[in-house]
């Protein structure tokens, strides 16, 4: 391990640095406001463009195809509607395929080098890439350019680390400013719940934006918010890395070894199995979270729901508010009687049930009934991340979350492709099939977490090393 601490005082006092966390959460809030406006905006804009293209000169054409459904399968409009769905799904896959492989490399090095060059560096680089990507969409909308121009923004975003780079920075910065036990779980959870708050604010606003102002002004808003988040980092966010470490950054080869050392290095001994199990569970969970969201939009836009942008906004706002209001209270409540792995098991089962309900839904009421279990299950990913962070030394948090960031990219990239193809293949047979697969993945994650618990207790009984800490609920 390094002789110079990662953080100046390494949180030896056992207290969170609330001032730093507050400033970081301002960055997260502004950033995720932009993200949560941009993602549904992009999907609905692509859907509208292909709708206009395919329905052009058709007697079935309407002025706002995103809120019109054709239910009769023999209707020419229904056939065109299915083609719109396919093309929207396919270009989303292409956009993901452009950025994800590049992000794999950039996030790996960004995370490893941030342990030496600083967390501000880790924020600034991907935020610049995100700004370029959002501005590219704004330009395409304004001049009605060929959609292939979006590929440029995706490629530059991938080089900078993009969304996953910002998320990597968020978790590493939070780990720097919290002690290892339950407060770190809450600190990491706050990042997700800040995301939910911004989503609640932005989703309904996006629906009305699109309805009343079209697509251009919401896109301008996302670019402006992204620029604001970058300025907040540059002007307000304090650095947490000791300046003495900045001249000690490793070679690229050593940086790569550090990122993967948790899983392959003999220095971690039998604890490597715990890292493997936790990252496997994380993969399955994020495979669903990062992969199925585009399918959810398509699911809502088409029969039997036929939602427009406003109703999609209301639904997303409800889901976000439930996560914001229930997430931290659920963590606090469950910490009274169980540990983080126990929280993972309980919330993963609840999330599996939510996906089953979503897949069976055939009325608006059934779809909105998914909101409550989604809110209760929201501590799942924060708890897994906290478990992994707690097992890693303080001076390797950036490298740890670089590995988590790589898993985000791989699992979400695979998830987007798999679930979109799955939805295309099953939409006429069983529209909710993709959600049943999500539920099965969560059940498998529960099995892995139970195995993690069994092995971790055996290791702790035979090894007093401080590297692995499974938190006591009373702490």
Q: What is the pLDDT of residues 377-426, one digit of tens each?
A: 999 999 999 999 999 988 889 999 999 988 988 898 889 889 988 988 88
Strand partners, 241: 7
**Structure pTM?**
0.78
Q: Is the peptide bond prior to 442 cis by the omega test (within 30 degrees of 0)?
A: no
Instruction: With cut-offs at 50, 70 and 90, classify the pLDDT of residue 109.
Output: very high
CA distance linking residue 6 with residue 12, whole number of Å: 12
Backbone φ and ψ for 241, nearest 5 degrees, come out as -90, 135
pLDDT at 69: 67
Q: What is the pLDDT of residues 46-69, one digit of tens each?
A: 999 998 888 775 555 444 444 556
Q: Is 162 helix (H, G, I), strand (E, B) or coil?
A: helix
Residue keyed to tokens 């030896």: 12
- Termini Cα distance of the chain: 27
Strand partners, 7: 241
CA distance linking residue 169 with residue 405, whole number of Å: 9
- 18 Cβ partners below 8 Å, 6+ apart? none
Tokens of 234: 């540059």
CA distance linking residue 16 with residue 14, whole number of Å: 7
pLDDT at 467: 45
pLDDT at 261: 92
CA angle, residues 127, 133, 136, in degrees to nearest 5: 140
CB-based contact 175:401 (threshold 8 Å): yes
What DSSP string runs through 391-459? HS-GGGHHHHHHHHHHHHHHHHHHHHHHHHHHHHHHTTT-TTHHHHHHHHHHHHHHHHHHHHHHHHHHH
Q: Which residue has the higher pLDDT, 133 or 200?
A: 133
């Amino acid at each position: 391990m390094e002789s110079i601490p990662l953080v100046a005082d390494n949180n030896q006092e056992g207290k969170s640095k609330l001032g730093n966390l507050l400033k970081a959460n301002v960055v997260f809030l502004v950033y995720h406001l932009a993200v949560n406006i941009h993602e549904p905006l992009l999907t609905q804009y692509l859907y509208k463009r292909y709708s206009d293209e395919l329905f052009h000169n058709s007697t079935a054409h309407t002025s706002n195809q995103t809120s019109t459904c054709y239910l009769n399968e023999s209707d020419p409009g229904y056939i065109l509607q299915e083609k719109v769905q396919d093309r929207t799904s396919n270009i989303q896959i292409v956009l993901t395929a452009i950025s994800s492989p590049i992000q794999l490399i950039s996030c790996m090095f960004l995370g490893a080098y941030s342990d030496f060059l600083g967390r501000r560096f880790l924020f600034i680089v991907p935020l610049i890439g995100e700004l370029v990507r959002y501005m590219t969409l704004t330009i395409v909308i304004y001049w009605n350019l060929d959609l292939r121009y979006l590929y440029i923004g995706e490629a530059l975003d991938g080089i900078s680390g993009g969304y996953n780079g910002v998320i990597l920075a968020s978790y590493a910065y939070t780990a720097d400013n919290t002690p290892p036990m339950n407060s770190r779980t809450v600190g990491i959870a706050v990042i997700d719940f800040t995301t939910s708050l911004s989503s609640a604010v932005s989703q309904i606003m996006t629906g009305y934006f699109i309805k009343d102002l079209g697509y251009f002004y919401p896109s301008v808003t996302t670019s402006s918010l992204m620029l604001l988040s970058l300025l907040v980092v540059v002007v307000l966010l304090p650095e947490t890395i000791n300046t003495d470490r900045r001249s000690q950054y490793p070679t690229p080869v050593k940086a790569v070894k550090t990122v993967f050392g948790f899983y392959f290095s003999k220095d971690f001994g039998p604890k490597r199995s715990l890292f493997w199990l936790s990252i496997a569970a994380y993969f399955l969970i994020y495979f669903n979270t990062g992969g199925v969201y585009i399918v959810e939009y398509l699911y809502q836009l088409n029969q039997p729901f036929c939602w427009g942008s406003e109703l999609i906004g209301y639904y997303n706002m409800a889901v976000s508010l439930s996560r914001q209001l229930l997430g931290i209270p659920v963590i606090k409540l469950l910490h009274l009687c169980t540990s983080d792995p126990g929280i993972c098991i309980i919330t993963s089962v609840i999330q599996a049930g939510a996906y089953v309900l979503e897949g069976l839904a055939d009325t608006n009421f059934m779809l909105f009934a998914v909101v409550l279990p989604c809110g209760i299950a929201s501590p799942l990913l924060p708890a897994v991340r906290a478990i992994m962070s707690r097992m890693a030394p303080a001076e390797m948090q950036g490298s740890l979350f670089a590995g988590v960031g790589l898993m985000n990219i791989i699992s979400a990239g695979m998830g987007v492709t798999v679930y979109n193809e799955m939805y295309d293949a099953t939409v006429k047979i069983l529209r909710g099939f993709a959600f049943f697969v999500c539920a099965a993945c969560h059940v498998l994650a529960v099995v892995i977490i139970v195995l993690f618990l069994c092995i971790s207790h055996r290791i702790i009984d035979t090894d007093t090393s401080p590297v692995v800490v499974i938190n006591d609920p009373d702490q």
